[in-house]
Structure 1
Amino acid sequence: MSPRHVLLAVLVAAIWGFNFVVLKVGLDEFPPILFSALRFLAAAVPAIFFVGRPSVAWRWIIAVGLVLGVAKFSFLFVGLKVGMPAGLGSLVLQSQVIFTTAFAAVVLHERPRPVQVTGIALAIGGIGLIAWDYGISSPLLGFALVVIAAACWGVSNVLMRYARPTDTLRFMVWVSAVAVLPLFGLSALTEDMSALGRLDWSGAASVGYVAWISTLLGFGIWGFLLRQYESSVVAPYSLLVPVFGIFSAWAFLGEDLSAVQLAAGGLVLAGLAIPQLLGRRAARTEVLPEPLVPAGR
């Protein structure tokens, strides 16, 4: 990756890492699925009336909206609500790297190079060390739900690779719109929606951050990078998310940060740096799988 694109990937990781602190604030104000519905409503409206429809087949917009918007974030938000700590949640979610690389290898026939495998293995070792130091202190249900959310993220990464939206911001606005009604429906069936009548500044700010900064800006940049490089090149940068997430949780939520976690964060950084330090330049993909229907329909 070019230095500019590396910086963009790190910026997204920082945005998504701090996002876990914001999520904890929002989940104190709203039930989890309702909070997710509000974040996607804010991301979609009023932007959808100004950006126009993306030149991507409807099937990809709907598929990403359901897998990323509805499934991934429902599992993640409920997992955090039932007790998964913010720092540990940001860590466990990065198992999406394994899912993304595996799904891309099977579906897209992308084969990670040996140096990438080495870097990912080292970074995953750092994540494993952080997980060991944390210990399994949160409920098993919360842990399992976040792992399922990571698998959904891996599927959505591959779907976005197929879709190849030329304007990722426009694409994410429409993906957000797809998620709104299913999420509000799920919330109406399973949650108490009376929190809508008690909206305060902290609740509004948390919705604004996860809608405009985390969703539109973060996924807009992420989708752009996935268009430029293979999934196995981009996905490892999400391993920085738990580094930022753990530091943010320590700084703003008072979650403990040990010397072991600091050392493990260094392993994650080393794993990401290996392909760059060895001088391998990620090749842009020239041949991509054909969409199942013509783009734009």
Structure 2
Amino acid sequence: MVRPGIPLALLSAALFGASTPFAKLLLGVVDPQVLAGLLYLGAGLGLTAFHLCRAALRLPALEAPLRSWDVPWLGLVILAGGISGPLLLMLGLTRTDAASASLLLNLEGLATLGIAWLWFHENVDRRLALGAFAILAGAAVLSWHGWATLDLGGVLIVGACLCWGIDNNLTRKLSSADPVQIAMLKGLVAGSFNLLLGLANGAVLPPASVVLAAGAVGFLGYGVSLALFVLGLRHLGAARTGAYFSLAPFVGAMLAVIMLGDPISAPLLAAAGLMGVGLWLHLAERHEHEHAHEATGHEHRHRHDEHHRHDHEPDVDPHEPHSHWHRHEPMLHRHPHYPDLHHRHGHHQA
């Protein structure tokens, strides 16, 4: 099977995981709410600069732009993942200990998987579920410092994870559109909200050098990472992309060993083993059955293949990436596939 979404999802996780040690260093001099705002703004402003450079150079628009019918979904994504999630996390962190918080944050992957399966009816078979739980178990081992305390702070952090799980699944609805635009708008709106909220609560802006450092971390760890995550959703669906993204804590832990001199501990080795098993189970997945494609129309980046056989103007090379509104005729066939843009059909059993 061609798996273009897997390296995209893994790179997204790696960038986000790599941002964690840098963010922890910045937390020593920046208020948490202000830092959340600066990270998101760094993502939004960095991607805005990229978007403007792309327009100034008149590069061909290979991705489908966001349309008016995408705005409600984008608003819900920003509300759930960019505003509600960080706000609940900050409120939870002030009411619970760091050990409980780090363990509870692993529930985001479980929430993403559960919502994708139960609400959006993505195919989740036993192999996929076992692999996802192995990856999540590895993440839990990394953050294990005893059982989490489910007090009010813990409940708020669980709520934040639920918001991010909703965010990940709703973003799947937008995954046919330009991932740079999606990540840019989310970063600008969520960053502005979190920064203003932090300043309103009495926090102060750090020195300019710290602001620039936070912006750089946010651009790579939040902006570029989110754009790649959207592409992963396009090819893999929410359940699989969310599972791969759960590898992020391991990347952060390995960087902490390299950058901060943390020891290679037994939990780190155990997590590596569990995540390795989970990753192997996912990479070895082969989902194939006869399935029907209903007639539909949409817009996204594509080349011509068995799912894209429409006509073009003479100056358009159908074998090169391009984007436009196109229709799909009904089709019945059998081949290995993931729940990507063209394979979101139902199944008789999970």
Equivalent position to 2:118, from 90, 106, 114: 106
Say whether residues 1:84 and 2:98 are aligned partners: yes
Match of 1:245 in 2: 252
Say whether residues 1:70 and 2:78 are aligned partners: no
Match of 1:199 in 2: 207
Q: How does 1:46-195 map to 2 (within 5 A)?
A: 47=48, 50=52, 54-55=66-67, 57-76=70-89, 84=98, 89=102, 92-132=104-144, 134-135=145-146, 145-190=156-201, 192-194=202-204
Deviations 1:15-61 (A, max 9, x none): 11121112112222221111222223333337178379722521122
Q: Which amino acid aligns with 2:251?
A: F
Say whether residues 1:268 and 2:275 are aligned partners: yes
Q: Quick check: 2:122–2:339 contact (8 Å CA) kept in 1? A: no
% same residue = 23
More relative contact order, 1 or 2 (CA 8 Å, 6+ apart)? 1
Q: Structure 2: which 5+ residue stretches go unaligned? A: 56-64, 288-335, 346-350
User: In the aligned structure 2, how far is the partner of 1:62 from the partner of 1:278?
Assistant: 34
Change (3 A) 1:209 1:77: farther
Change (3 A) 1:248 1:72: farther
Cα offset, 1:136, TM superposition: 5.0
Change (3 A) 1:41 1:17: closer
Q: Which amino acid aligns with 2:338?
A: A
Q: Quick check: 1:29–1:203 contact (8 Å CA) kept in 2? A: no
User: In the aligned structure 2, how far is the partner of 1:257 from the partner of 1:183?
Assistant: 35
User: In the aligned structure 2, how far is the partner of 1:205 from the partner of 1:23?
Assistant: 10
Q: Which amino acid aligns with 1:258?
A: S
Deviations 1:140-174 (A, max 9, x none): 77755543332221110111122334201111111
User: In the aligned structure 1, how far is the partner of 2:93 from the partner of 2:236?
Assistant: 31
Q: Which amino acid aligns with 2:114?
A: A
Normalised by the length of structure 1, the TM-score is 0.80
Q: Quick check: 2:111–2:165 contact (8 Å CA) kept in 1? A: yes
Q: Quick check: 1:127–1:265 contact (8 Å CA) kept in 2? A: no
User: In the aligned structure 2, how far is the partner of 1:145 from the partner of 1:250?
Assistant: 30
Q: Quick check: 1:16–1:241 contact (8 Å CA) kept in 2? A: yes
Higher mean displacement: 177-186 or 20-29? 177-186
Q: Quick check: 2:4–2:235 contact (8 Å CA) kept in 1? A: no
User: In the aligned structure 2, how far is the partner of 1:117 from the partner of 1:175?
Assistant: 30
Change (3 A) 1:235 1:200: same
Match of 1:294 in 2: none
Change (3 A) 1:251 1:287: closer
RMSD: 3.2
User: Between Structure 1 and Structure 2, how many residues are aligned?
Assistant: 282
Higher mean displacement: 91-100 or 266-275? 91-100
Which one has a bigger Cα radius of gyration?
Answer: 2
Change (3 A) 1:200 1:45: closer
Q: Quick check: 1:5–1:225 contact (8 Å CA) kept in 2? A: yes
Q: Structure 1: which 5+ residue stretches go unaligned? A: 290-297
SS of residue in 2 equivalent to 1:108: coil
Q: Which amino acid aligns with 1:273?
A: W
Cα offset, 1:207, TM superposition: 2.6
Q: Quick check: 2:40–2:223 contact (8 Å CA) kept in 1? A: no
